[in-house]
Structure 1
């Protein structure tokens, strides 16, 4: 089989702020045949995206291709002039980013943006380009293909926008497509339809592809071969089936082991109690002016109720926009409930956090999805952890400093990190500092809002293990909000399923195997498996997709 892409001895260097040069890609070789999809997997910083971008002859700011060749259809992208590369980008090679929202201009209509590459490169007349775009919209299973191009980006869903980004890339009839984590931000039900659309269009057009991802289950559905990367070097390469069934390298085995976190049974000091630790009674909340019925203009959570016993964990799952995070903020008092009650250890909590006592605030902490925005970039780690020690416990000086060291040890971080700032830490380290900040209050309940969604598989698995250890040691309870069912199953005793602001079902961990509500059935059946044939064999009930797919 003739190779469309041949990378040989590729080296890429990065220059640090201090002027020091670091080799981030070290002698990579890679072949891709016509019509073949090759996945690049590995942790953050392994070089996945850097390698993919070299196919366009591009290196990100601060980076430089220093050695090697990148042959695409007989042309060495490293040897061409920038003008020559620009003529190839969008025609022979195209790119689909992780965030389609960032790729679209919010003030221009979708159709004008999708066909723009045909105007820039003079590929075809505008009328023909529009007809070609409509063909792609239809091939990518987009609704109302004749008119969706007349909308603006904010008028379509995330899954639709991701497929429209693919249409934008495909309209120039490229020979090679680069997919850079294109389904990471999507719900599982949306992700399935997007993957199916990508796969069918690529195979029909005989287009070669590079698929960058850290999600092995997604990769299993779309890739013919897998290249495992770590530290800018290839650890292992093979067919998708071989890599998933008989991985040879220890790092590949670690990636596979981390895909499905081990189930956890709590064995702490907790005793059953008639009074739950947390009682949510008929809570509604949302945004905008309160209406005549006492509810906000946009009611994101409607009449939700559940109990959480001390020492147990509750998962809340559902698609984006279902009200998961709004409910978390309502429980924490950041968004006051407009109706219903929040009781903690039998005590009624004021709806707004500003009205709660310092002791009430201390006992219930929340850890957010993005540690980058949760941590003050101007403060060293010792100040970030030390602030709640002073606020809740009045600690100062040597006592506070000693306790900071103890908490860093709790979250398995070296004491030397106390002098660093958040920007100097990895994603996993920052999330551990996030937990350390919450633990400093010595709470009874920690609300975890999508805390692993931005982390690599191995790092996310380590965070889950840390949560389990802390629960055993400190007798904690967790509310775990996520769209990753494997994570929720690993740590939660019960799971609340939400859809459009309402609780549609509450299940035990064992009950996941036989959900009763139609949306729960669709949600659980849409979670990809480590089986290359899973997507091709998947049959979802059309009525469920029409009613609950939200695409």
Structure 2
């Protein structure tokens, strides 16, 4: 079969600017080779920093942030992209090779979706406006979007996240490209939405016979859509083969670790009666009159983990904001160790603030990039305990050891840490206050599977050592199964199921919990097709 894309001995470099040191060149991708035929999908998988997105963007002859292609060839139907002049690159991008970003923020909120979907086709003179609109409507239908002939009249804010992601796929497919680069297109989606988007992307690729590079850090996801898989680490190829071989007979230790990754496991607490946090009939919303939480009641025993699970918009994070006092409830009460918590944060005592800490989803945005690890972890030590100087530094080092990071990290800045290290520092900052309860707001969702497993294991070990309680907000059922003692399932601001893990995750289920459990990708070929078929049968039954 003729190779549409042939990458040979690819080398990509960038310039690093270490603090206090002169700039230096670093190699971020080295000696990577693969080929891709029309109509086939190659999955690129690996941890953050493995070079996945860099390789994908290289297929567009693009290097972001000063990245340079310094060696090898990227042949698109025999044409070597890195040696093209600017006019040649403009001829390729948006016509022969298109890109689907991770975030739907790639859309301009001020323009209708249809106009944005057809823009590249018109800009490059590939078709008339009427032809482009007809093509867009066809693609909207292929991708399962509602009312395909009129869907393009909507603005980005008028559709869901899953619909936006499918619209972005339509935008890439509209110019009839030979190759599409999908850069983690479902990572930001809930599992219930992800399954529909995956199925739509797979169907669209088959219908248009387009080749695709599919970038992700989730092996279970890429197994559903790829013909072949390349496993990357530190910019180099670890293993490259058919999806079946990678999934069923991985040859390298790192690949085997990815295939066999199992979340940290803890048994469910046998007694769940020693209530520490009690939420009774809480309703909460925002100043515009929009109610997010409706009459929510649940409790969390001391030293245990309550997993709060549900899709985006279900009210999980709003519940956490109500507990911390960032969003005072409209009605209802929240008690902690038998004492009613003042609804508003600014009215709470310093000790109330200390006892309930929060770990955010994105450690990057939760840290000041101009502060060192010493400053970040040290701030609560000064605020709550008045520590300064040597005493504070020694306590920071103790906390670093507790999160399995050496004291040598104390003077590093966030930019000098990996994603997993940043999240560990965020955990240390929460621990610095010696809290009784930590609200964990999807702290592993942005991390690679092996790194996430390490963070979960750390959290479980810290709980065993300190008897701290966790409310763990997530949409990942695998995490719920791994770490929870009790589970609360939320949907559209309401509590639809609550109780011990063994009860909540056992049938009979309500319809939403059943859908949630059946939407978690499994590491086996054909899972996606079976899951979609099951949904159709159940929908027909209803």
Structure 2 residue corresponding to 1:132, chosen from 135, 140, 145: 135
Q: 1:110 to 1:545 in 2, by over 3 A?
A: farther
In the TM superposition, what is the alpha-carbon distance from 1:542 to its structure 2 partner? 4.8
- Helix, strand or coil at the partner of 2:146: coil
| TM-score of the pair, normalised by structure 2 | 0.96
Contact 1:365 1:445 in 2 (8 A): yes
Distance 1:35 1:449 in 2: 39
Which residue of 2 is the match for residue 536 of structure 1? Answer: 529
Contact 2:310–2:316 (8 Å) recurs in 1 = yes
Partner of 1:383: 375
Equivalent position of 1:79 in the other structure: 83
Corresponding residue of 1:517: 510
User: Any idea what SS the aligned residue of 2:378 has?
Assistant: helix
Does 2:231 align with 1:228?
A: yes
Does residue 284 (structure 1) correspond to residue 287 (structure 2)? The answer is no
Match of 1:60 in 2: 64
Q: Which runs of 5+ in 1 are unaligned?
A: 290-296
Report Cα offsets for 1:147-198 as digits up to 9, x if no partner.
Answer: 1111111111111111111111101111111100000001111111111111
> How much has 1:78 moved relative to structure 2?
1.4
Alignment match, 1:23: 27
Structure 2: how far apart are the matches of 1:75 and 1:514?
56
Once residues 442 and 508 of structure 2 are traced to their aligned partners in structure 1, the CA distance between those partners, rounded to angstroms, is 23
Asked whether the equivalents of residues 400 and 407 of structure 2 are also in contact (C-alpha less than 8 Å), the reply is yes
1:434 aligns with 2:426: yes
Deviation digits for residues 217-245 of structure 1, max 9, x if unmatched?
11011001110001111010111111111
Q: Distance in 1 between matches of 2:117 and 2:540?
A: 27
**Is 2:268–2:501's contact at 8 Å kept on the other side of the alignment?**
no
Residues 547, 11 of structure 1: alpha-carbon distance in 2 compared, 3 angstrom cutoff: farther
Give the deviation of 1:100 after TM superposition: 2.0
Residue in 1 aligned with 2:489?
Answer: 497
Q: CA RMSD in A?
A: 1.8
Name the counterpart of 2:100: 96
| Structure 1 residue 513, shift from structure 2 partner | 3.5
* Partner of residue 267 from structure 2, selected from 265, 268, 277: 265
Q: What secondary structure does 2:141 align onto?
A: helix
Tell me if the contact between 2:274 and 2:302 (Cα under 8 Å) persists in the aligned partners.
no
Distance in 1 (alpha carbons) for counterparts of 2:541 and 2:234: 45
CA distance in 2, matches of 1:46, 1:527: 25
The SS at the match of 2:278 is: strand
Aligned 8 A contact 1:123 1:172 in 2: yes
Shift in Å, 1:507: 4.2
1:404 matches 2:406: no
Give the unaligned 5+ runs of structure 2. none
Give SS of 2:71's match. Answer: strand
Q: Which residue of 2 aligns with 1:154?
A: 157
CA distance in 2, matches of 1:89, 1:318: 38
Partner of 1:117: 120
Distance (whole Å) between structure 1 residues aligned to residue 83 and residue 393 of structure 2: 56
Paired with 1:514 and 1:434, the residues of 2 have a C-alpha distance of 37
Map 1:303-452 onto structure 2 (within 5 A): 303-452=295-444
Distance change in 2, residues 1:407/1:262 (3 Å):
closer
CA distance in 1, matches of 2:537, 2:512: 11
Preserved contact between residue 445 and residue 478 of structure 1 (Cα < 8 Å): yes
Q: 1: distance between equivalents of 2:260 and 2:75?
A: 35
Cα distance change on mapping 1:183 and 1:144 into 2, 3 Å: same
SS of residue matched to 1:241:
helix
**Aligned 8 A contact 2:179 2:210 in 1:** yes
Count of aligned positions:
536
Alpha-carbon shift at residue 515 of structure 1 (Å) = 4.8
Q: Secondary structure, in 3 states, of the residue corresponding to 1:519? A: helix
Deviation at 1:305, TM superposition (A): 0.7
In 1: Cα distance, 2:47 partner to 2:73 partner: 25
More displaced, 509-518 or 536-545?
536-545
Deviations 1:441-485 (A, max 9, x none): 111111100111111111111100100110111111110001111
- In structure 2, relative to structure 1, the CA distance for the partners of 1:153 and 1:78 (3 Å cut) is same
Structure 2 residue matching 1:442: 3-state secondary structure? coil
Q: Distance in 1 between matches of 2:93 and 2:122?
A: 14
Q: Deviations over 1:353-393 (max 9, x none)?
A: 21111111111111111111111222211121111112222
- Could you tell me which residue of structure 1 aligns to residue 202 of structure 2? 199
Task: State the secondary structure of the residue aligned to 2:246.
Answer: helix
Question: By how many angstroms is 1:98 displaced?
Answer: 0.5
Partners of 1:351 and 1:540 lie apart in 2 by 44
Counterpart of 1:9 in structure 2 is 9
Q: Distance in 1 between matches of 2:271 and 2:187?
A: 39
Checking the alignment, whether the CA contact within 8 Å between 2:229 and 2:243 is kept in structure 1 is yes
CA distance in 2 between counterparts of 1:285 and 1:265 reads 33
